[in-house]
Structure 1
Amino acid sequence: MEWLTKFPHMNDNSLRDLKKAIDEGFRAFTRAYGDTIESFFDPLQFFLIQSERLLTRTPWPIVILAIALIAWLASRNWKIVAGCVATLLLIGYFDMWDDTMKTISMIFVCTVLSIAVGIPIGIAMSRSDRLQNLINPVLDVMQTMPSFVYLIPVVMLLGIGKVPGLIAVVIYAIPPMIRLTNLGIRLVDKDVLEAADAFGSSGWQKLKNVQMPLALPTIMAGINQTIMMALAMVVIASMIGVQGLGQPVLKAISNQYFTLGIFNGLAIVGIAIIFDRVSQAYGKRLQRHREIVHG
């Protein structure tokens, strides 16, 4: 390290030049390809807008009934269903319904996108140790990088709005989905796979009929963690135009509105508890089903 102290000015200048070159290169890239990349995400924007409209324009009793039905089908537990209904009624009573529906629609789209991208990557990782060794460091960086940092390249490429916020949330929330899909498939009992081979199953049949069903409880844990991380990113994503409960919290921080911040923060907590309890209960039911099948 002595050479650093001998040439501090040379080191500072070369580092400054390198940073400047990278920044200018990225700006040139965004100017040249920003519009093309933006148009690539148009279907995602359409999906997000439609899901938001569906939740905000549907009468609240129907939305509560639909969520209660999903909670019952997933958990088969009346306490969880009653908790979901009570939480949503309180959110409506405190006049946070629209913002809550916008947040739920964004979390729904984020989760769908994370599943669509994360599960294939997790499956590919489970089939190749080399690929796993390549992707794991990337996932480590994604999980330890401060969440504000994700906003910089996304905003430079796509500007401010719903889609850039959505992409930033997905990048932040997807690592557990990939990791736990990979883990779940790797944990499938070798004897079961040998039995599938003995019956002449192809690779696709083994994946579809054996590995994925047995890995499903672990994959559900990944979905649960992805939802929790997406909700944690809601307030930060509101800084670049994502509508929902994050914006009132940001407004409360800027203007020191204590009650506004607390109420909207509690609404985020309420949604997190609903998603967490329902997905965990569904994962436990899958686990019990697997134990019965193996038993």
Structure 2
Amino acid sequence: MAETSWLTDFPQMERSGLVQIRKTLDGAYRSFSREYGDAIEGFFDPLLAFLIWFEKLLLATPWPIMVLVIGGIVYSASRSAKLLVGVVIALLLIGYFGMWDNTMRTLSIITVCTILSIFIGIPIGIAMARSDRIQSVVTPILDVMQTMPAFVYLIPVVMLLGIGKIPGVIAVVIYAIPPVIRLTNLGIRLVDKEVLEAATAFGASKHQRLFQVQLPLAMPTIMAGINQTIMMALAMVVVASMIGVKGLGQPVLKSITNQYFTLGLFNGLAIVALAIIFDRVSQAYAKRSQKHLKGAH
């Protein structure tokens, strides 16, 4: 009888233990956010100022100049006239259907998130490639970042920083950064050992081997990681709009809540157009850099 009673009470004991753990963790995080929230918010003020300035710059620049600038970047990266024509047509259609301002807002936040992901991710990937111990520590963290539902990222970030651009940037970077870290690590590890031995034989230091041999040879793989990071950042646009990030995601969210099919479709297609532009340009640049590298050898 005692055993049966213990088994009957076990689910209740388990629930009460779980409730206690949740209360403890929630209380600790609230105390942390109250004590350090302002300091952490102040730390991100320069990033917020840059993001606001960059968004205003894109919005204030006349659309013909923006089309010329984006077209110039596309052509210089890809050297493809067909891709250039496709990008210009896509941008003109975005403007014609009245989605230009939101597209520029989305472009500004995606550009900033991608730059942050590259500057944070590539050094971590290099450190992982140089040390098996660092790789064994970072890999499970990346697994959690990639498998955790995106909405879960928003909870602690919003509790700490409220709603706005910076929480959106942090959530997007957390979600999008794993591919560039993983593929930087993979690309460097795949560099032929004989090539490194030859560089060492010619008297190259570790620094020279990294920047003059390993990174150039790993560049196509790193570019694939950057490409995937951009795609994942764009995938987070709608989710980030839930915490006040303006752009193409907000009309999509509005169309979901109010059942506006056409509004959601057009803004969704604009996100797809941006994704295709980023994807094709980064892939074309990776192929060109690979051909140039082969030509050098």
TM-score (normalizing by structure 2):
0.96
Name the CA distance, whole Å, in 2 between partners of 1:269 and 1:8.
Answer: 48
1:62 corresponding residue in structure 2: 65
1:253 corresponding residue in structure 2: 256
| Alignment check: 8 A CA contact 1:179 1:222 kept | yes
- How far residue 272 of structure 1 moved from its aligned partner, in angstroms, is 0.4
Aligned pairs for 1:32-181 within 5 A: 32-181=35-184
1:240 corresponding residue in structure 2: 243
SS in 1 for 2:35: helix
Once the two structures are superposed, residues 117-172 of structure 1 have per-residue CA deviations (whole angstroms, 9 ceiling, x without a partner) of: 00010000000011111111110111111111110011011000001001100000
Name the CA distance, whole Å, in 2 between partners of 1:5 and 1:34.
Answer: 44
1:291 corresponding residue in structure 2: 294
1:226 corresponding residue in structure 2: 229
Which of 187, 204, 219 does residue 207 from structure 2 map onto? Answer: 204
Report the CA distance shift for 1:53/1:10 in structure 2 as closer, same or farther (over 3 A). same
- How far residue 206 of structure 1 moved from its aligned partner, in angstroms, is 1.0
Report the CA distance shift for 1:86/1:16 in structure 2 as closer, same or farther (over 3 A). same
Structure 1's unaligned 5+ residue stretches are none
Cα RMSD, aligned residues only: 1.2
Report the CA distance shift for 1:202/1:4 in structure 2 as closer, same or farther (over 3 A). farther
- How far residue 4 of structure 1 moved from its aligned partner, in angstroms, is 6.7
2:193 corresponding residue in structure 1: 190
| Alignment check: 8 A CA contact 1:111 1:227 kept | yes
TM-score (normalizing by structure 1):
0.97
Structure 1 runs of 4+ aligned residues shifted over 3 Å read: 2-6
Matched residue pairs, number? 293
Name the CA distance, whole Å, in 2 between partners of 1:97 and 1:153.
Answer: 32
SS in 2 for 1:183: helix
| Alignment check: 8 A CA contact 1:139 1:175 kept | yes
Name the CA distance, whole Å, in 2 between partners of 1:257 and 1:137.
Answer: 41
Counterpart residue type for residue 243 of structure 1: K
- How far residue 53 of structure 1 moved from its aligned partner, in angstroms, is 1.1
| Alignment check: 8 A CA contact 1:45 1:162 kept | yes
Counterpart residue type for residue 133 of structure 1: S
Name the CA distance, whole Å, in 1 between partners of 2:85 and 2:270.
Answer: 16
Counterpart residue type for residue 74 of structure 2: A
Once the two structures are superposed, residues 206-265 of structure 1 have per-residue CA deviations (whole angstroms, 9 ceiling, x without a partner) of: 111111111111111111000000000000000001010001111111111111111000
Counterpart residue type for residue 239 of structure 1: M
Instruction: Provide the identity percentage.
Output: 70
| Alignment check: 8 A CA contact 1:4 1:11 kept | no
- How far residue 112 of structure 1 moved from its aligned partner, in angstroms, is 0.5
SS in 2 for 1:279: helix
Report the CA distance shift for 1:8/1:289 in structure 2 as closer, same or farther (over 3 A). same
- How far residue 6 of structure 1 moved from its aligned partner, in angstroms, is 5.4
Counterpart residue type for residue 189 of structure 1: D
- How far residue 270 of structure 1 moved from its aligned partner, in angstroms, is 0.5
Which of 10, 13, 28 does residue 16 from structure 2 map onto? Answer: 13
- How far residue 290 of structure 1 moved from its aligned partner, in angstroms, is 2.4
SS in 2 for 1:188: coil
- How far residue 269 of structure 1 moved from its aligned partner, in angstroms, is 0.4
* Pair 1:275-2:274 in alignment: no
SS in 2 for 1:292: helix
- How far residue 191 of structure 1 moved from its aligned partner, in angstroms, is 1.2
Once the two structures are superposed, residues 170-206 of structure 1 have per-residue CA deviations (whole angstroms, 9 ceiling, x without a partner) of: 0000000100110111111111111111111111111
Name the CA distance, whole Å, in 2 between partners of 1:98 and 1:67.
Answer: 15
SS in 2 for 1:200: coil
Report the CA distance shift for 1:201/1:51 in structure 2 as closer, same or farther (over 3 A). same
